[in-house]
Each structure stands twice: as structure tokens, then as C-alpha cells.
């Protein structure tokens, strides 16, 4: 199944709670996170320095950058702690027929 504007990433049931998974969608690195009963997609590059957020810890609706500890809100991409001061783009996610889809064109920059 395809959804207009959205790219299939994986089956929903392969996601583990609070364990980010990295995908590459049309050259865009995306970290997908299942937390609570929601799935979020955030650009997989910290805005402070070019490291992968999918290697960080998830707590609630945040992911913590492993290098210097800034936490980002998974809903908005906004940094909650220094040293990061700029948001990270987030992307719309849809769950359809057990599949996880992301739209990397309609990003939100916080
Ligand atoms: S590289 Fe992410 S907070 Fe510094």
C-alpha cells in the first residue's frame, strides 16, 4: 500500500518502545521512535553537531543527544537543554494497515 506523499518505512510491529530506528528516505536521515502509543519521526542529525540522534536515549516524548546531552522534543524538534539552540526538523507519520509511513517533504522546523 502506498499513501500519497508518504514513504513506507517498516511494519509497525518491528518497532520497539523507546528504541529509535534510523532510516534513509530519499537521502534524508530519519529517526523513528515509538513511545507511549505514538510514533514520531525526527531528522536524524543533532542541530548542535552532526551526530545521529537515533543513538540517543528516549524518555517520554524526548530524545537525548548522546554527545553533549541536549534533549529534543519529539513532537516539535525543539531543543529543551543547551548546548543545542536550534530545532531539528520533524516529519509527519502515518500508521496504515500495520505499516509506518513518513512524509519527509512536509517537514516542520519547530
Ligand atoms: S552534538 Fe548533540 S548536543 Fe552536541
Q: Collapse the DSSP code of 35 into the 3-class scheme (helix H, G, I; strand E, B; otherwise coil) and give the result.
A: strand
Calculate what percentage of the chain has a pLDDT beyond 90. 86
Is ligand 1 within 6 A of the CB of residue 64? no
Task: For residue 4, name the pLDDT band (cuts at 50, 70, 90).
Answer: confident
For ligand 1, atom 3: residue with the closest CA: 68
| DSSP-derived secondary structure letter, 5 | T
Q: Confirm or reject CATH 2.102.10.10 for domain 7-102, answering yes or no.
A: yes
pLDDT tens for residues 41-69?
Answer: 999 999 999 999 999 999 989 999 999 99
Does the beta carbon of 68 sit less than 6 angstroms from any atom of ligand 1?
Answer: yes
CA distance 58 to 32: 11
How do residues 93-110 score in pLDDT, each as one tens digit? 999 999 999 999 887 776
Cα 100 to averaged position of ligand 1 atoms, centre (Å): 28
Among the listed residues 51, 89, 94, the one whose alpha carbon sits nearest the alpha carbon of residue 70: 51
Return the pLDDT at 1: 54
Q: What is the pLDDT of residue 106?
A: 80
Amino acid at each position: 500500500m502506498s499513501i500519497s506523499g508518504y514513504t513506507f518505512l517498516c511494519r509497525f510491529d518491528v518497532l520497539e518502545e523507546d528504541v529509535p530506528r534510523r532510516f534513509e528516505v530519499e537521502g534524508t536521515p530519519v529517526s523513528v521512535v515509538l513511545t507511549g502509543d505514538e510514533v514520531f519521526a525526527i531528522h536524524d542529525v543533532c542541530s548542535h553537531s552532526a551526530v545521529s540522534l537515533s543513538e540517543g536515549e528516549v524518555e517520554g516524548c524526548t530524545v537525548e543527544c548522546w554527545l553533549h546531552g541536549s534533549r529534543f522534543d519529539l513532537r516539535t524538534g525543539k531543543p529543551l537543554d543547551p548546548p543545542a539552540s536550534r530545532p531539528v526538523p520533524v516529519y509527519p507519520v502515518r500508521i496504515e494497515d500495520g505499516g509506518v509511513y513518513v512524509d519527509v517533504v512536509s517537514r516542520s522546523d519547530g
